[in-house]
Chain A
Amino acid sequence: MMHSTMTFRRYLVLAAVTLTSAFGDTFLSRGMKLLGPVSLHHPAELIHAVFSPWVASGIVLLIGFFASYMASLSWADLTYVLPASSLGYVIMTLLARFWLREHVSSLRWLGIVCITAGVGFVTRGPSWTEPRKGPGAGAEEPVAVAEEEARL
């Protein structure tokens, strides 16, 4: 039995998953580009990189991503959260184009259209599959959920 567990606050958490992932990766990329190539023969340079403002901000954002991603998995299905939060790829491409001034090909724009369509498909449907409680419970459980939804 599937039903929606989404509230306005939970959509905000999904937005946080999307934004922290996109901005975290972009900040890391920006920071590492500013620092230049890091040689594996000098691993201390990597430790130095962690304390640079862009990389440190990127790491903080990615910790925020992991926390909000875990929270979202506690009230929504994996097959709902993953496509719904994939808008991060769209934001990353837009940041690459308009902030980092990278070239974005027409194929990449087509990819953005596909991702947006996929997000549209999944977010219009239910977000949560009720866990199985054991043999025989499945027949009664959907009724309970339907009654609860009717009350809401």
Chain B
Amino acid sequence: MILGHVTNTALATAAMIAAIVVTATAGDILTASAMRQVGDLDHIRAERGLPGAIGAVVSNGRFGLGVVCLALSFFSLLYAFSHRDLSLIGPAATSLTFVTNALAAKFFLHENVDRRRWMAAIFVCVGVALVAF
């Protein structure tokens, strides 16, 4: 009975963390993909000025979807904070997102995630977890 309750609580916590990580990763990948579609903002601003650069970003569909995902991630985080401790949810969600972003960037954005970048993602992931605890 007690074991079942503990398992359910652990599963619910894992589901909350997963929801934050998945939506945050989707948001980051979609916005990064949008910026790849838009192109170098320095060049766009030189040609069309600041309003032109802002217009190019805001009118991109993937950017809009990315912002929606980031908003969902934010509300998932708020929901998780209302049920679990900040000291558990914050470090777990933030640090895991570094690793899932590296994986997603490799497969969806076709970024060349070499050993150096994996090491960076893992070091930052561990560091963020330690800083946030």
Residues of A within 8 A of B (CB): 1-2, 70-71, 73-75, 77-80, 82-83, 86, 89-90, 93, 107-108, 110-119, 121-122, 124-126, 129, 131-132
Contacts and interface: CB of A to CB of B under 8 A. Distances in A.
B114 A89 contact: no
Given A70-B41, A114-B127, A124-B116, 20 more contacts: A74-B38, A77-B105, A77-B109, A77-B111, A78-B29, A79-B113, A82-B98, A86-B128, A89-B128, A89-B131, A107-B133, A108-B130, A111-B126, A112-B127, A114-B123, A115-B123, A118-B121, A119-B120, A121-B117, A129-B112
B129 to A, nearest CB: 7
Contacts of A112: 127, 131
Given A117-B123, A121-B119, A121-B123, A110 B130 contact: yes
Interface of B: 28-29, 31-32, 35-36, 38-42, 57, 98, 101-102, 105-106, 109-114, 116-117, 119-124, 126-133
Contact of B127 (A71, A80, A118, A125): A118
7 contacts: A74-B42, A78-B28, A82-B28, A111-B126, A124-B116, A125-B117, A129-B109
A112 B57 CA distance: 34
B11 to A, nearest CB: 27
Contact of A75 (B31, B40, B120, B121): B40
Given A79-B105, A82-B98, A115-B123, A122 B129 contact: no
Contacts, number: 124
Contact of B41 (A75, A82, A117): A75
A73 B116 contact: no
B62 to A, nearest CB: 12
A63 to B, nearest CB: 12
A126 B116 CA distance: 10
Contacts of A115: 123-124, 127-128, 131
A74 B127 contact: no
A19 B6 CA distance: 41
Contacts of A83: 98, 117, 120-121, 123-124
A118 B98 CA distance: 11
A78 B121 contact: no
B41 A122 contact: no
A72 to B, nearest CB: 9
Contacts of B119: 118, 121
Nearest to A96: B131
Closest CB pairs A-B (n = 8): A111-B130, A114-B127, A118-B123, A115-B127, A111-B131, A122-B120, A118-B124, A73-B35
Contacts of A117: 123, 127
